[in-house]
Structure 1
Amino acid sequence: MSLTYEICIDSVAGAIAAERAGAHRVELCAALFDGGLTPSLGTVRAALAAVSSIRVHVIIRPRGGDFIFDEHEIAAMEHDTALAREAGAHGVVIGALTPDGEIDRPVTERLIAAAGGLPVTFHRAFDMAADPYAALETLIELGVDRVLTSGQDVSVLEGAPLIAELVRRAGDRIVVMPGGGITARNAARVVAATGAREIHFAALSEEASPAVHRNPYPFMGGELRRPEYQRLVTTSGGISSVIAAAGR
Structure 2
Amino acid sequence: MPQLEIACFNLKSAEIAFKNGADRIELCVEMDTGGITPSLEMIQKAKVKINIPIYVMIRPRGGNFVYSETEFQWMQSKIKTLKEIGVDGFVFGILEAQNKVNKIQNKALVSLAKPLPCTFHRAFDEVPNPFEALEELIACGFQTILTSGNASNVNEGVTQLTLLVQKATNRITIMPGGGLRSSNVKEIYAQTKAKFYHSSAITDKTEIANPIEIQRLQSILNE
Fold equivalence (TM over 0.5) = yes
1:205, CA displacement in angstroms? 4.6
Partner of 1:220: none
Partner of 2:28: 29
1:19, CA displacement in angstroms? 1.2
Q: Which stretch shifts more, 233-242 or 59-68?
A: 233-242
Q: Indicate whether 1:50 and 2:25 are aligned.
A: no
Mapped partners of 2:135, 2:92: distance in 1: 16
Structure with greater proportional helix content: 2
- Secondary structure of the corresponding residue to residue 232 of structure 1: coil
Q: Indicate whether 1:13 and 2:9 are aligned.
A: no
TM-score by length of 1: 0.87
Gaps of 5+ in 2: none
1:231, CA displacement in angstroms? 4.0
1:114, CA displacement in angstroms? 2.3
Q: How does 1:79-98 map to 2 (within 5 A)?
A: 79-98=77-96
1:61, CA displacement in angstroms? 0.5
**Could you tell me the percent identity over the aligned residues?**
35
Q: Which amino acid aligns with 1:159?
A: G
Stretches (4+) displaced over 6 A = none
Mapped partners of 2:36, 2:59: distance in 1: 5
Q: Which amino acid aligns with 1:5?
A: L
Mapped partners of 2:220, 2:197: distance in 1: 12
1:36-70: CA deviations, max 9, x gaps?
A: 10111111111011112x11000001111110000
Contact 1:182-1:201 at 8 Å conserved across structures = yes
C-alpha RMSD of the superposition: 1.3
Contact 2:107-2:141 at 8 Å conserved across structures = no
Q: How does 1:123-202 map to 2 (within 5 A)?
A: 123-202=121-200
Partner of 2:220: 245
Q: How does 1:194-233 map to 2 (within 5 A)?
A: 194-206=192-204, 231-233=206-208
Mapped partners of 1:205, 1:153: distance in 2: 21
- Secondary structure of the corresponding residue to residue 69 of structure 1: coil
1:75, CA displacement in angstroms? 0.5
- Secondary structure of the corresponding residue to residue 188 of structure 1: helix
Partner of 1:213: none
Give the number of aligned pairs: 223
- Secondary structure of the corresponding residue to residue 5 of structure 1: strand
Mapped partners of 1:238, 1:84: distance in 2: 30
TM-score by length of 2: 0.96
Mapped partners of 1:12, 1:126: distance in 2: 27
